[in-house]
A and B are shown apart, each in its own frame.
Chain A
Amino acid sequence: MPPEIAAFEGVSKTFVTRESLFRSRKIQAVEGVSLALRRGRTLAVVGESGSGKTTLARLLMRLHEPTSGSIRILHDGRLKEITAIPQREYYRRVQMVFQDPYSSMNPRKRVWQAITRPLTNLGVCGTGVNLRMIAEREMEAVGLGSQYLEAFPHELSGGQRQRVAIARAIATQPEILVLDEPLSALDVSVQAQVLNLLMELQQRRTLTFLFITHDLAVVRHFADDVAVICAGRLIEYGPTETVMEAPIHRYTQSLVANIPGRSSRKPARAESAAQGLKAIPLAVVQAARRAGEPPT
Chain B
Amino acid sequence: MILKIRNLTIQLPIHRVLTPVVRDFTLEVARGEIVGIAGESGSGKSISSLAILGLLPAGSTVTADHFELCGHDLTALSARGWRNIRGRKVAMVFQNPMSALDPCLTVESQLSELVRNVEEGLGRKQVRQRAVDLLEQVGISPQRLGAYPHELSGGMAQRVFIAMALACRPALLIADEPTTGLDVTIQSQVLDLLVRLRDTIDMAVLLVSHDIGIIEEYADRIVVMYSGEIVETGPVTMLAGGGQHPYTQGLLRSLPARQGVSPKTPLAAIPGVVLPVGGDIQGCRFAPRCQSADERCRRRPELVPLAAYPGSALRCHL
- Taking Cβ atoms with an 8 Å cutoff, the residues of A that contact B are 48-49, 157-160, 184, 187-193, 195-196, 199-200, 214-218, 220-222, 240, 254-255, 258-266, 268-269, 272-273, 277, 280, 283-285, 287-296
Asked if B269 and A266 make an inter-chain contact with CB atoms under 8 angstroms apart, the answer reads no
Given contacts A189-B254, A262-B258, A287-B136, contact A294 B211 (CB under 8 A): no
Asked if B256 and A217 make an inter-chain contact with CB atoms under 8 angstroms apart, the answer reads yes
CB contacts (< 8 Å) of B239 on chain A: these are 262
Is B3 an interface residue when CB atoms closer than 8 A count as contact?
no
User: Which of A269, A284, A290 is within 8 Å of B220, CB to CB?
Assistant: A269
Asked if B213 and A261 make an inter-chain contact with CB atoms under 8 angstroms apart, the answer reads yes
- How long is the Cα–Cα vector from A255 to B203 in the complex, in angstroms? 29
Asked if B273 and A288 make an inter-chain contact with CB atoms under 8 angstroms apart, the answer reads no
User: Which of A255, A261, A292 is within 8 Å of B166, CB to CB?
Assistant: A292
User: Which of A216, A221, A290 is within 8 Å of B263, CB to CB?
Assistant: A221
Asked if A266 and B195 make an inter-chain contact with CB atoms under 8 angstroms apart, the answer reads yes
Given contacts A189-B40, A189-B254, A195-B256, contact A265 B216 (CB under 8 A): yes
CB contacts (< 8 Å) of A291 on chain B: these are 130, 133-134, 136-137, 166
Task: Give A155 Cβ to nearest chain B Cβ, in Å.
Answer: 11
Is B250 an interface residue when CB atoms closer than 8 A count as contact?
yes
- Chain B 171-207 against A: per-residue CB contact (8 Å), 1 yes, 0 no? 1000000000101111110001001111111110000
Asked if A187 and B267 make an inter-chain contact with CB atoms under 8 angstroms apart, the answer reads no
CB contacts (< 8 Å) of B253 on chain A: these are 192
- How long is the Cα–Cα vector from A293 to B255 in the complex, in angstroms? 39
- Taking Cβ atoms with an 8 Å cutoff, the residues of B that contact A are 31-33, 40-41, 70, 89, 130, 133-134, 136-137, 139, 154, 166, 169-171, 181, 183-188, 192, 195-203, 210-214, 216-218, 220, 239-240, 250-251, 253-259, 261, 263-264, 266-271, 273-274
Task: Give B132 Cβ to nearest chain A Cβ, in Å.
Answer: 8
Asked if A222 and B263 make an inter-chain contact with CB atoms under 8 angstroms apart, the answer reads yes
- How long is the Cα–Cα vector from A294 to B169 in the complex, in angstroms? 8
A-B Cβ contacts below 8 A, count: 170
CB contacts (< 8 Å) of B254 on chain A: these are 188-189, 191-192
Asked if A214 and B183 make an inter-chain contact with CB atoms under 8 angstroms apart, the answer reads yes
**Residue of B with least CB distance to A290:** B133
Asked if A255 and B184 make an inter-chain contact with CB atoms under 8 angstroms apart, the answer reads yes
Given contacts A260-B184, A294-B201, contact A200 B266 (CB under 8 A): yes
**Residue of A with least CB distance to B212:** A188
Given contacts A188-B251, A284-B136, A295-B31, 9 further A-B contacts (CB under 8 A): A189-B251, A269-B199, A273-B199, A280-B199, A287-B137, A288-B137, A291-B130, A292-B137, A296-B171
Asked if A48 and B256 make an inter-chain contact with CB atoms under 8 angstroms apart, the answer reads no
CB contacts (< 8 Å) of A258 on chain B: these are 184-185, 187-188
**Residue of A with least CB distance to B71:** A296
Q: Would you give 22 A-B contacts (Cβ < 8 Å), ordered by A?
A: A157-B41, A187-B210, A188-B40, A188-B213, A188-B254, A190-B40, A192-B255, A199-B266, A214-B184, A217-B255, A255-B184, A255-B185, A260-B184, A261-B213, A261-B258, A265-B216, A266-B217, A277-B199, A284-B136, A287-B137, A291-B133, A292-B197
User: Which of A160, A221, A265, A272 is within 8 Å of B199, CB to CB?
Assistant: A272
- How long is the Cα–Cα vector from A222 to B267 in the complex, in angstroms? 10
CB contacts (< 8 Å) of A214 on chain B: these are 183-184
- How long is the Cα–Cα vector from A187 to B93 in the complex, in angstroms? 20
- How long is the Cα–Cα vector from A188 to B213 in the complex, in angstroms? 10
CB contacts (< 8 Å) of B186 on chain A: these are 48
- How long is the Cα–Cα vector from A287 to B193 in the complex, in angstroms? 14
CB contacts (< 8 Å) of B255 on chain A: these are 188, 192, 217, 261
User: Which of B195, B257, B268 is within 8 Å of A259, CB to CB?
Assistant: B257
- How long is the Cα–Cα vector from A261 to B255 in the complex, in angstroms? 9
- How long is the Cα–Cα vector from A285 to B199 in the complex, in angstroms? 10
CB contacts (< 8 Å) of B269 on chain A: these are 189, 192-193, 195-196
User: Which of A195, A196, A215, A280 is within 8 Å of B184, CB to CB?
Assistant: A215
Task: Give A181 Cβ to nearest chain B Cβ, in Å.
Answer: 10
CB contacts (< 8 Å) of B212 on chain A: these are 188
